[in-house]
Structure formats: C-alpha cells, structure tokens
C-alpha cells in the first residue's frame, strides 16, 4: 500500500490564482480530511468527508472547496489564493470504525505571494 499520497509537494502561487491539491489513499478508508498547519502552530481542520459524495466543513473552511466523487480521492481546491493561505497542507484518512486513528500524507507546502 502506498498509504496517503499528496501532490504536489511544493507549490508557489500568485495572489488570485486557483489550484487543486491532490490527495489519494489506497486503504479503502471511508473518512478523509484536510488540515492546514501554519508555522509553529498545531493543525487546523479545513474540510472532511465521511464517504463518497459527503463532505462537511471544519474549523477553517473559507477559501477552500472539496468534493469526494470516489472513495480514493479527496482534492482540495483553492478558489482565489491569498497570502494568508500560505501554509503546509496535510490530507488524512481513516476507517469508519476508528475515525480518529488517522493516517496522514507527507504534506504540500504552499506559498502564496
């Protein structure tokens, strides 16, 4: 199993640009979530999904969209990038039986100039 994979690993955007961060898992996990981590801070939940076709907002959802058309994939879309979205983004997945035993991807480091 590859586990949770994220692409790209690094990205630089200009203010106002849009992009999609990719996340995929091959463990057939029902739950997937996106977090952001700002320098020296803990993780904050952006959006999460409890299954294909079902998504919900986390703590800091503004400026981000998600969709879950398949069990495997959970892309995060930045609609119009802002410098405040400069952060490291982590995707995670877990089984419905143990929703808090989460497996995290390696992260995407995003800089918005």
Partner 1 sequence: DAKTTQPPSMDCAEGRAANLPCNHSTISGNEYVYWYRQIHSQGPQYIIHGLKNNETNEMASLIITEDRKSSTLILPHATLRDTAVYYCIVRVDNAGNMLTFGGGTRLMVKP
- Cis before residue 8, ω within 30 degrees of 0? yes
Compute the least distance from the CB of residue 58 to partner 1, in Å.
Answer: 6
Which of 17, 19, 22, 44 lies at the binding interface for partner 1 (CB under 8 A)? 44
42 CB-contact burial (10 Å; exposed 0-12 / middle 13-18 / buried 19+)? exposed
Q: How far apart are CA 69 and CA 80, in angstroms?
A: 22
CB atoms within 10 A of CB 9: 9
Which of 29, 35, 74, 78 lies at the binding interface for partner 1 (CB under 8 A)? 35
Residue 45 lies near partner 1 (rule: CB under 8 A): yes
* Near partner 1 in 53-112, by CB under 8 A: 56, 58-59, 88, 90, 92, 96, 98-107
Compute the least distance from the CB of residue 5 to partner 1, in Å.
Answer: 11
DSSP state of 42: -
- Cβ 36 vs Cβ 43: under 8 Å: yes
Residues that bind partner 1 in the complex, under the rule CB under 8 A: 4, 31, 33, 35, 42-45, 48, 50, 56, 58-59, 88, 90, 92, 96, 98-107
């Amino acid at each position: 199993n590859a586990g949770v994979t994220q692409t790209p690993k690094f990205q630089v955007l200009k203010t106002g640009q849009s992009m999609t961060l990719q996340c995929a898992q091959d463990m057939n996990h029902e739950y997937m979530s996106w977090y952001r981590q700002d320098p020296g801070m803990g993780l904050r939940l952006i959006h999460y999904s409890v299954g294909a076709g079902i998504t919900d907002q986390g703590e800091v959802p503004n400026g981000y969209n998600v969709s879950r058309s398949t069990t495997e994939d959970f892309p995060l879309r930045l609609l119009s990038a802002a410098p405040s979205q400069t952060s490291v983004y982590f995707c995670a997945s877990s089984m419905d039986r143990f929703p808090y035993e989460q497996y995290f991807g390696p992260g995407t480091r995003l800089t918005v100039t």
